[in-house]
Structure 1
């Protein structure tokens, strides 16, 4: 029951704050993790806040996390005609020429080298999904009507390997989203993300490129009451039923 309430917390906050909901960026958060938390595509949040690629965020930055049309427009102040000030009267100015003995050439220092660009990796157009753990015990299934069931919970043993369900790039690895514990988010292409929560140990970091079936974490119970993997698939930022994508077992 406690875990159910925690899962509903962001939704409750969004409802309570109404259309003026904003998010203050915490250290370690990325646009992907924030979009994951509020259920919006990261590109939408970037568009609402005027953030260009590669979507760099700063701690303390305030982001709008609801569509702009949901916010009430600020009241306009009554317009007043501009007041023109009289132009100042300027008299003749006497200029004394300056004699320059010599012109010193400033020392030009070489520019600092630019950081090496991140290698461009082509992500698959259609991910080939596979199960993220060997266990077949699904404790909780997906429900589109229940905000607390955005994915599936797979029971296992502490330390069991957690694998990437498809090839992609790690866009978040950390514990900033408390109810998810140690969390990994992988971007598979411009449409799909997958998430792996409640891990005991993370074996990848943000920016790593992973292959399908690569070990990315150890199963644990961070943010949960027992060792399990909470697994989600997001399509355009919206939760999707993982059992419709994973092969039948």
Structure 2
């Protein structure tokens, strides 16, 4: 039971910044939430929440995302109209401003240097909304290597949509994730070196053979290509 709870908390590192309590005036999105439901629960309008959180794509919110649900600095919400439109919790193109969970809009470019986790062709790039990482097409069984030295904080298939998944923690701010693997070659708690083989490319929980690779900075998805060497 203890191990199961620990694994669940580690999976949450990928889904969101964590499950720490949020400050008054903020709300953490849960599975099944819609923007209209959140607005009704907090007696606010959808438009106000969109404005307070700078949601450039209000058609999409992310499970685990922290939203401001009270006026900043006591500002009035008068003049805003309520909307009945619902939005399913999925992915957000830009993280919403929050309290202790808020992350800078971009990570320092030189803060971490990665190597390519697999040889192959990039078939999908990061856009922050529909793609939170990059997809690398490669033959089944192609080695997957650690993009940087770190510790395995999750190894399993408990996160729907990722198949056999590895999450490596590199320091207090950076995580990398490796999804859809055919086989996992390392275990939770294990330290791995940069370039060490950790898995093999596969197609678990996806319709084609590929590696889905993500880079997270303070829990938020950022473009991994900015930290990878050019090809």
TM-score of the superposed pair, with normalisation by structure 2: 0.59
Residue aligned with 1:232, SS:
strand
1:182-211 CA-to-partner distances (Å, cap 9, x unmatched) read 000000001100000000000001100000
Q: CA RMSD for the aligned pairs?
A: 2.5
Task: Find the counterpart in structure 2 of residue 133 from structure 1.
Answer: 118
Q: Does 1:189 align with 2:174?
A: no
Q: What is the aligned length?
A: 150
- Structure 2 unaligned segments of length 5 or more: list them: 23-62, 71-109
Q: Does 1:143 align with 2:116?
A: no
Task: Find the counterpart in structure 2 of residue 15 from structure 1.
Answer: none
CA distance in 1, matches of 2:139, 2:67: 44
1:145-194 CA-to-partner distances (Å, cap 9, x unmatched) read x2x20000000011110000000000000000120000000000011000
Residue aligned with 1:178, SS:
coil
Q: Closer, same or farther in 2 for the Cα pair 1:246/1:66, shift >3 Å?
A: closer
CA distance in 1, matches of 2:64, 2:226: 28
Q: Does 1:161 align with 2:139?
A: no
1:84-134 CA-to-partner distances (Å, cap 9, x unmatched) read xxxxxxxxxxxxxxxxxxxxxxxxxxxxxxxxxxxxxxxxx9433100012
TM-score of the superposed pair, with normalisation by structure 1: 0.55
1:30 is displaced (CA, Å) by 3.5
- The within-5 A match list for 1:155-234 is 155-234=137-216
- Structure 1 unaligned segments of length 5 or more: list them: 1-24, 50-63, 72-124
CA distance in 1, matches of 2:138, 2:149: 23
CA distance in 1, matches of 2:198, 2:143: 8
Which has the greater radius of gyration?
1
